[in-house]
Amino acid sequence: MCGRFTLSRQDAGQLALELGVEPGALLDYRPRYNIAPTDQHWVLRMKYEDRELLPATWGLVNSWARDAKRAAQQINARAETLTTKPAFREAFAQRRCVVPADGFFEWTGPKTARQPLWFHRPESGLLLFAGLYEYWQPEPRLWQRTFTIVTTEANRVVGAVHDRMPVILPEDLVDGWLDPRKEDTEKLRGLLVPARDDLLVATPVSPRANSVKNDDPSVLEPVA
């Protein structure tokens, strides 16, 4: 599962360069330290042969939905059931995206003293989560873009605290995932595997991460 993540990069221009999009795509960008379900974020998709970065709301709402009640239940999509679950099947075939991040949270300890762990690259590099996106109409003539993060079995590092983790795509596989012309779902499912064990480290961080109201640099302060 991935229920909270971060994109704390300070330099929007550098972030755009790393994502392969024009700097103007991130004019409204701000660093985020505690992104929660139903928050606005960004998704990267392929339009023709170019990458395009677009704002989207976390929590997939299907085009046929009458309301957004299921959005919080569809923040994640299990890689193993993408071709069988009606909520994700069409998006998997036609609307794949990447969700840019630089870390995600899991928790350990008793319910009365939950300790957040921030999983991130040792060198603070980007994490490119496999995602799916959809459009739905909250009211006539108004379309809203939403997304979900694809999850898979946890690797050894994340598996110490949770049995699931987001699918993290290597940069050289991103365009293959994004290309809407690729229709072989079995080959695409082959990309949805756990990250290698040495990709991530776990840093215990401030309990301020426990509340979605806290979204500032102090959330990521390491603790003993």
Length of the chain (residues): 224
Residue 80 falls in the annotated catalytic set: no
Residue 55's identity, in one-letter code, is: P
> Active site includes 171?
no
SS3 12: helix
Cβ burial of 47 (10 Å; 0-12, 13-18, 19+) is exposed
Given the residues 2, 97, 139, 153, select the one marked as catalytic. 2
- Using an 8 Å Cβ cutoff, are 121 and 127 in contact? yes
| Structural contact between residues 131 and 58, judged by C-beta atoms closer than 8 angstroms | no
Instruction: Judge contact between 108 and 115, C-beta under 8 A.
Output: yes
Q: Out of 52, 106, 153, 186, pick the active-site residue.
A: 106
**Six token digits for residue 54:** 């677009």
Catalytic residue set: 2, 106
